[in-house]
C-alpha cells in the first residue's frame, strides 16, 4: 500500500457511542494532521502531530481525542458527538512541520454521520 489510508470510509454513530478513526501513511513523513471538511466551508485544521508530538490543537472540543503512537499512525477517538459534528474527516501527512509547511498528502477521508 502507498500513500495515506483512512478507515473506515463511512461511519454512522449515535451521540452516546464511542468510535475511532484510523489513519496510516506509508510515505515516510514525520507530520500528520486531522482536518474537518464541512459543506461549503474551508478545510478546518483540527490537530497536528510532528514526530509523534502534538504541536497544534485548533480549539477542538474535548469530545475529539487524537492519538499518535508513531509517525505512521494517527487516530481520532470520538465520544458523545453532536449532529453538527457530521462531516468528512481527512487525515494528511507531510515531510515535517518545522516552520515550513511542506505540501500535504491527504487520505480519502472518513464520512461521519452522527444521529
Residues that bind other proteins (CB under 8 A): 4, 6, 40-43, 45, 90, 92, 97, 99-101, 103-109
Least Å from the CB of residue 5 to other proteins: 10
Whichever of 31 and 78 has its CB closer to other proteins, that residue is: 31
Neighbours of 76 (CB within 10 A): 23
Closest alpha carbon to 3 in 101, 98, 90, 97: 90
Distances (CA, A) of 41 to 23, 88, 115: 23, 12, 21
Question: Which is closer to other proteins, CB of 25 or CB of 71?
Answer: 25
Compare residues 83 and 103 and give the one whose CB is closer to other proteins.
103
- To other proteins, the closest distance from the beta carbon of 22 in angstroms equals 15
Report helix, strand or coil for 95: coil
Q: State the alpha helices, DSSP H only, in 17-87.
A: none
Nearer Cβ to other proteins, position 4 or 87? 4
Helix ranges (DSSP H) in 17-84: none
Taking the complex as a whole, the smallest distance from the CB of residue 16 to other proteins amounts, in Å, to 29
Amino acid at each position: 500500500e502507498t500513500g495515506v489510508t483512512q478507515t473506515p470510509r463511512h461511519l454512522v454513530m449515535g451521540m452516546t457511542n464511542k468510535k475511532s478513526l484510523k489513519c496510516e501513511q506509508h510515505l515516510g513523513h514525520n507530520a500528520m494532521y486531522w482536518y474537518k471538511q464541512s459543506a461549503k466551508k474551508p478545510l478546518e485544521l483540527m490537530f497536528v502531530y510532528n514526530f509523534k508530538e502534538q504541536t497544534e490543537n485548533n480549539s477542538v472540543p474535548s469530545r475529539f481525542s487524537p492519538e499518535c503512537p508513531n509517525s505512521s499512525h494517527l487516530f481520532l477517538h470520538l465520544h458523545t458527538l453532536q449532529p453538527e459534528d457530521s462531516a468528512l474527516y481527512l487525515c494528511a501527512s507531510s515531510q515535517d512541520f518545522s516552520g515550513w509547511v511542506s505540501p500535504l498528502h491527504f487520505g480519502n477521508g472518513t464520512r461521519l454521520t452522527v444521529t
